[in-house]
A and B are shown apart, each in its own frame.
Chain A
Amino acid sequence: MPRKRIDTEPDAHGHFGPYGGMFVPETLMAPLQDLEREFRAARRDPSFRRDVEYYLREYVGRPTPLYFAERMTRELGGPRIYLKREDLCHTGAHKINNCIGQCLLARRMGKKRVIAETGAGQHGVATATCAALFGMQCVVYMGKVDMERQALNVFRMRSLGAEVVPVTAGQQTLKEAISEAMRDWVTNVRTTHYVLGTAYGAHPYPVMVRTFQSVIGREARRQILKQEGRLPSALVACVGGGSNAIGLFYPFLQDRGVEMIGVEAGGLGIRSGKHAARFADGRVGVLQGTRTWVLQDSEGQIRLTHSVSAGLDYAAVGPEHALLRDLKRADYSHVTDREAVDAFYTLARWEGILGALESVHAVAWLMKNARRWGKKDLILVNLSGRGDKDVQQVSAWSAKHGGPKA
């Protein structure tokens, strides 16, 4: 009997099963519905699709390679490991795939101002880049703590002509930056498009970001079939909000033999309470527009999070991941700061690649778990970004905590 299709398409109001939805102030409801209508129309419009493809090819540099990590494969002594090299995208991470799509959509809607939140700074840089490319005004909200730990990216955004606004509320990281961007959007919604950077937030953002990021999985699937003639045994990707992971996973959803593993930030370990492993230690709640797994206390207040990687340091996870986990179509695990930093150095020394601190969470998980598979298995890891932005952070971490040094 043929197995039922895995269906994660959201309903008209953006519900992924019991997750997702639109939990925003009334001011944003009509604009979100307009955005959804425009997004659906654009998706069907060949000229829009042509524009997206053109900029992804000529400007972003797609397709990115699917690289056989020969030495990592040999050293780990298990499956054949492939790296999807999103770190080679223009601006250094997968984030720009989504920004090209959303900025072209903003242009189509006649919006001349774009705003964004950013954690690690990669999404901010990608938005600032696309705003420059399409001649739009750009404001990026960034937690003050993140501005300090990602100073290089702040300089990049400002060089690109964007205004970077420090957010000093609360924990001063990604979560507060999102709230501040939403406040801007509520205030300027008629002139402004909010380029949300991950597969999170109110409908249609999770499905829209997934659509623009699915180019990762479409390419990877084609490439692995061409290079190996068969599908991989597993896909591994880090999960903050979850855009690089859903972009890789989505085109493989119906390939039942392909396991999917999302890796969250384990920080200092789950028992320390200092982490961002929502599936390990959270429960279902509503935060910043959507219903999903959220790190929260018994009062429903959002908990402080911790990760060495700013891009994974967030209290909630994209709603489609919550559904994929319920459906047992994807598994979610976590690695610690130390394991991630170790993987940063190991990847550099084995393959000559400095991976982003976010992406090396996926590499670290594979290093720990490679022996689950045999030598004939193929494992595909999403190397979602490059680590140049992280060198100071890693160097400071090593000085403080010991371990390998540059």
Chain B
Amino acid sequence: MKTRIDQCLERLRKTRRKAFIAYITAGDPGMAETVDSVVQLAGAGADIVELGVPFSDPLADGRVNQDAATRALAAGATWGRLLKCIEQIRRKSPIPLILYSYLNPLISRGFEKTARQATAAGADGFLIVDLPAEEMEPYSRILGRVGLNNICLVTPTSPSARIRKIAGLASGFVYCVSREGVTGMQKQLASSALGLIRRTRRWTRLPIALGFGISTPEQARAAAREADVVVVGSAIVNRFAAAPKTAAGRKAAAQWTARLVRAVKEV
């Protein structure tokens, strides 16, 4: 069973085009705004949207995404409201949706139930940031059963044997983390990123994404030369946070994102 993510990346691969993923935190500043932000990002040319599930203790995230999660929780983000948000997005857009989350909020009411609810609402994949390959098996089996992609991370510290194992568990695409560190912006794309992409290609035919620390069109273009998919997070979260909390403000933030999309599509 192919998800919207699989179909989207296949379509792009056939036309030899690169994909752009935009990350925002769900529920920041509120779920209604998130619905509109996703629709705007789709309009700006993003191929896939990654929605952060707010968590109280996001230890893999830098300050920008931590603050976004704190704002979302303070505004009353819950799993139930996130499901409604996804349903509303689905009425307006077929854009593939990945839920980026820590494990605890997903197992709190039972992982299988949570995964089924996400599928029913219209989500296409999970990326569970604190679930390494060693702990992944029961969860990846459930994801496969309910028809969600299991998006897995490989990093510059991952030795080849781990990359191979992770690539075997992943579906949709394999996500290369450009550098050691948490989410957040940086001035230059780390040189470790390109080597990691090449090492990962040896073990998988899945598309390869690059993310963490990409915030400018130049970086996005450089990333797209090596990777099939480019992910931008904190820089977009920052843009939306700084923009007025109005439809016009979100449109402006999405238009800023369109510059990054164009950089990726030019490659």
Query: A residues engaging B (CB < 8 A)?
Result: 13, 21-31, 169-170, 175-176, 178-179, 182-183, 186-190, 285-289, 294, 296, 298-302
Asked if B108 contacts A23 (CB within 8 A), the reply is no
Q: Provided the pairs A27-B155, A175-B57 are in contact, do residues A186 and B105 lie with their beta carbons within 8 angstroms?
A: no
Chain B residues near A24: list those with CB within 8 A: 130, 132
Let me know if B188 is at the binding interface, CB within 8 A: no
Q: Provided the pairs A26-B153, A27-B180, A190-B180 are in contact, do residues A299 and B78 lie with their beta carbons within 8 angstroms?
A: yes
Closest 5 CB pairs of A and B: A300-B108, A300-B105, A187-B181, A179-B59, A27-B155
Stretch binding the partner chain, chosen from B91-99, B156-164, B255-263: B156-164
Asked if B134 contacts A299 (CB within 8 A), the reply is no
Asked if A13 contacts B153 (CB within 8 A), the reply is no
CB distance from A200 to the nearest CB of B (A): 13
Give CA–CA (A21, B66) in the complex, Å.
25
Asked if B104 contacts A300 (CB within 8 A), the reply is yes
Chain A residues near B78: list those with CB within 8 A: 299
Q: How many A-B residue pairs have CB under 8 A?
A: 115
Q: Provided the pairs A23-B130, A186-B181, A187-B181 are in contact, do residues A302 and B60 lie with their beta carbons within 8 angstroms?
A: no
Chain B residues near A30: list those with CB within 8 A: 157-159, 162
Asked if A189 contacts B134 (CB within 8 A), the reply is no
Apart from A25-B153, A190-B157, A285-B107, 5 more pairs, CB < 8 Å:
A24-B132, A25-B129, A26-B153, A26-B157, A189-B157
Q: Provided the pairs A27-B155, A179-B57 are in contact, do residues A22 and B180 lie with their beta carbons within 8 angstroms?
A: no
Asked if A26 contacts B155 (CB within 8 A), the reply is yes
Give CA–CA (A189, B155) in the complex, Å.
12
Give CA–CA (A10, B155) in the complex, Å.
27
Q: Provided the pairs A23-B103, A301-B73 are in contact, do residues A182 and B135 lie with their beta carbons within 8 angstroms?
A: no
Measured CB to CB, the nearest residue on chain A to B101 is A300
Chain A residues near B56: list those with CB within 8 A: 170, 301-302
CB distance from B217 to the nearest CB of A (A): 25
Let me know if B55 is at the binding interface, CB within 8 A: yes
Asked if B106 contacts A300 (CB within 8 A), the reply is yes
29 contacts between A and B (CB under 8 A): A13-B134, A13-B135, A21-B134, A21-B135, A23-B135, A26-B132, A26-B158, A26-B162, A27-B157, A28-B157, A29-B162, A170-B56, A170-B70, A176-B57, A179-B59, A187-B181, A285-B104, A286-B102, A286-B130, A287-B104, A289-B130, A294-B104, A299-B105, A300-B104, A300-B105, A300-B107, A300-B109, A301-B55, A301-B105
Q: Provided the pairs A186-B180, A190-B180, A302-B56 are in contact, do residues A29 and B132 lie with their beta carbons within 8 angstroms?
A: yes
Chain B residues near A302: list those with CB within 8 A: 56-57, 104
Asked if A186 contacts B182 (CB within 8 A), the reply is yes
Give CA–CA (A301, B129) in the complex, Å.
16
Chain B residues near A300: list those with CB within 8 A: 55, 104-109
CB distance from A390 to the nearest CB of B (A): 27
Measured CB to CB, the nearest residue on chain A to B105 is A300
Let me know if B62 is at the binding interface, CB within 8 A: yes
Mask of B30-63 contacts with A, CB within 8 angstroms, 1/0: 0000000000000000000000000111111010
CB distance from B263 to the nearest CB of A (A): 26
Chain B residues near A301: list those with CB within 8 A: 55-56, 73, 105
Let me know if B203 is at the binding interface, CB within 8 A: no
Chain A residues near B185: list those with CB within 8 A: none
Give CA–CA (A117, B166) in the complex, Å.
30
Q: By the criterion of a CB under 8 Å from any partner CB, how many residues of chain B are at the interface?
A: 41
Asked if B105 contacts A25 (CB within 8 A), the reply is no
Give CA–CA (A27, B157) in the complex, Å.
6
CB distance from A53 to the nearest CB of B (A): 33
Mask of B133-155 contacts with A, CB within 8 angstroms, 1/0: 11100000000000000001111
Asked if B180 contacts A189 (CB within 8 A), the reply is yes
CB distance from B162 to the nearest CB of A (A): 6
Measured CB to CB, the nearest residue on chain A to B130 is A23
Give CA–CA (A29, B133) in the complex, Å.
9
CB distance from A29 to the nearest CB of B (A): 5
Measured CB to CB, the nearest residue on chain B to A175 is B57
Looking at chain A's contact residues, the main secondary structure is mixed
Asked if A183 contacts B62 (CB within 8 A), the reply is yes
Give CA–CA (A310, B1) in the complex, Å.
51
Chain B residues near A287: list those with CB within 8 A: 57, 104
Q: Provided the pairs A26-B177, A188-B180 are in contact, do residues A31 and B157 lie with their beta carbons within 8 angstroms?
A: yes
Measured CB to CB, the nearest residue on chain B to A170 is B56
Chain A residues near B60: list those with CB within 8 A: 25, 183, 186
Give CA–CA (A134, B93) in the complex, Å.
59
CB distance from B191 to the nearest CB of A (A): 14
Give CA–CA (A182, B58) in the complex, Å.
11
CB distance from A273 to the nearest CB of B (A): 16
Asked if A298 contacts B158 (CB within 8 A), the reply is no
Let me know if B241 is at the binding interface, CB within 8 A: no
Chain A residues near B70: list those with CB within 8 A: 169-170
Chain B residues near A31: list those with CB within 8 A: 157
Chain B residues near A175: list those with CB within 8 A: 57
CB distance from B135 to the nearest CB of A (A): 6
Give CA–CA (A22, B162) in the complex, Å.
15
Let me know if B131 is at the binding interface, CB within 8 A: yes
Asked if B108 contacts A183 (CB within 8 A), the reply is no
Chain A residues near B159: list those with CB within 8 A: 30
Chain A residues near B62: list those with CB within 8 A: 183
Measured CB to CB, the nearest residue on chain B to A21 is B135
Asked if A25 contacts B130 (CB within 8 A), the reply is yes
Asked if B59 contacts A26 (CB within 8 A), the reply is no
CB distance from A171 to the nearest CB of B (A): 9
Chain B residues near A176: list those with CB within 8 A: 57
Chain B residues near A286: list those with CB within 8 A: 102-104, 107, 130
CB distance from B181 to the nearest CB of A (A): 4
Give CA–CA (A153, B59) in the complex, Å.
25
Chain B residues near A13: list those with CB within 8 A: 134-135
Give CA–CA (A251, B236) in the complex, Å.
53
Asked if B157 contacts A23 (CB within 8 A), the reply is no
Chain A residues near B181: list those with CB within 8 A: 27, 183, 186-187
Give CA–CA (A186, B212) in the complex, Å.
13
Give CA–CA (A101, B96) in the complex, Å.
49
